[in-house]
Amino acid sequence: MGMTQIPNLTLNDGHTIPQLGFGVFQVPPEDTARITGQAFEAGYRHIDTAEMYGNEKGVGEAIRSSGIPRDELFITSKLNNGFHEPDAARKAFDQTMSDLGLDQIDLFLIHWPLPTKYDGDFVSTWKTLIEFQQDGRARSIGVSNFQPAHLERLAAETDVVPAVNQIEVHPYFTNETARAASRDAGILVEAWSPIAQGGVLDDPTIVKIAEHVGRTPAQVTLRWHLQRGDIVFPKSSTPERMAENAALFDFELDDQAIESISSLDRGEDGRTGPNPDEFDYIPS
Ligand SMILES: NC(=O)c1ccc[n+]([C@@H]2O[C@H](COP(=O)([O-])OP(=O)(O)OC[C@H]3O[C@@H](n4cnc5c(N)ncnc54)[C@H](OP(=O)(O)O)[C@@H]3O)[C@@H](O)[C@H]2O)c1
């Protein structure tokens, strides 16, 4: 299927990340080992999970039973919202490592900035992730759902620039302001919900381009992300779609197709998820 062609991008800390991975948001915990195992069989080597998804143990099980050498895998997880205070973050990170069964994680992120919680202090949380990197248990560290102002604050108050910012990006919400702020600071963008959870797949513009290049709407949309330089990890629970979503390296979109897809942006109305400036959910 040509998975060997998945490009590696270089992070600002010198480590590399496969530009295409597999996301496990909304994969039920009891199905996660099986579905992640199928993703490995389909050729994916980069997995995006989170404490919030409740399925890190399943990912760990799939890693162990895959027999794939650890250094061929790239595993990301994220700090859950209830654990931003340094001591809570340390305990939560210990739990993540134990649930995944790993000594080192490739990338660990602050899942949401929660600017209206913890007196707006996500800086001490970031400093705690810096500890995890310094003690060697997190190879790379980054953030998720950080707005430009949040990135500026980390830059002003700490010495470590996040390796990635994982934010909502898809044709209906191109999120250019947060993308540009990230890229200008040397932070790679990871585009979450890259096909808007399926919501862009019957868009007439995307369908037309797909027909023209002889590909599916999902493939065209994912290819649009890749050519813009972002990292993607589409989620699917079926092996057919896992394969479809990975067959992206034997065709190209021309500039005009890229432009037409980018022009589908609906601004704030295009979001499928919450606005990070307001989101304050803490699991009970
Ligand atoms: N940091 C954050 O706050 C955040 C938020 C959201 C997501 N994420 C990450 O981003 C990953 C991807 O986002 P997502 O899971 O929200 O949405 P997504 O990848 O944009 O879309 C997944 C949905 O599309 C369907 N689908 C997948 N491939 C398809 C295809 N080729 N044709 C038709 N339908 C297809 C899937 O259905 P089936 O499963 O039935 O195939 C599923 O319902 C997540 O898994 C997670 O790792 C992060």
Q: Read out DSSP for the chain?
A: --GGGPPEEEPTTS-EEESB-EE-TT--HHHHHHHHHHHHHTT--EEE--GGGT-HHHHHHHHHHH---GGG-EEEEEE-GGG-SHHHHHHHHHHHHHHHT-S-EEEEEES---TTSGGG--HHHHHHHHHHHHTTSEEEEEEES--HHHHHHHHHH-S---SEEEEE-BTTB--HHHHHHHHHTTPEEEEESTTGGGTTTT-HHHHHHHHHHTS-HHHHHHHHHHHTT-EE----SSHHHHHHHH--SS----HHHHHHHHTT--GGGG-SS--TTT------
Q: How far is the CA of 215 from the centre of ligand 1 (A)?
A: 19
Beta-carbon count within 10 A of 277 CB: 13
Cβ of 190 less than 6 Å from ligand 1: no
35 vs 6, 41, 46, 62, 69, CA distance in Å? 20, 10, 14, 8, 19
From residue 47, give the alpha-carbon distance in Å to each of 57, 118, 166, 193, 235. Answer: 13, 29, 14, 14, 10
Other C-beta atoms closer than 10 Å to the C-beta of 124 total 15
Please name the fold of domain 3-195+229-235: TIM Barrel (3.20.20)
Q: How many Cα atoms within 13 Å fall on the side-chain side of residue 203?
A: 24
32 CA to centre of own chain: 17
Contacts of 106 (CB under 8 A, 6+ apart): 15, 17, 73, 74, 75, 76, 139, 140
| 113 pocket-lining for ligand 1 (C-beta < 6 Å) | no
**Nearest alpha carbon to residue 30 among 51, 55, 62, 50:** 55
Pocket residue to mutate for ligand 1, from 114, 172, 236, most atoms within 8 A of Cβ: 236
Is residue 53 among the annotated active site residues? yes
Which residue among 235, 242, 278 has the greatest number of ligand 1 atoms within 8 angstroms of its CB, and so is best to mutate? Answer: 235
Q: What is the pLDDT along the chain (284 residues), one digit of tens a residue?
A: 445 589 999 999 999 999 999 999 999 999 999 999 999 999 999 999 999 999 999 999 999 999 999 999 999 999 999 999 999 999 999 999 999 999 999 999 999 999 999 999 999 999 999 999 999 999 999 999 999 999 999 999 999 999 999 999 999 999 999 999 999 999 999 999 999 999 999 999 999 999 999 999 999 999 999 999 999 999 999 999 999 999 999 999 999 999 999 999 999 999 999 999 999 999 88
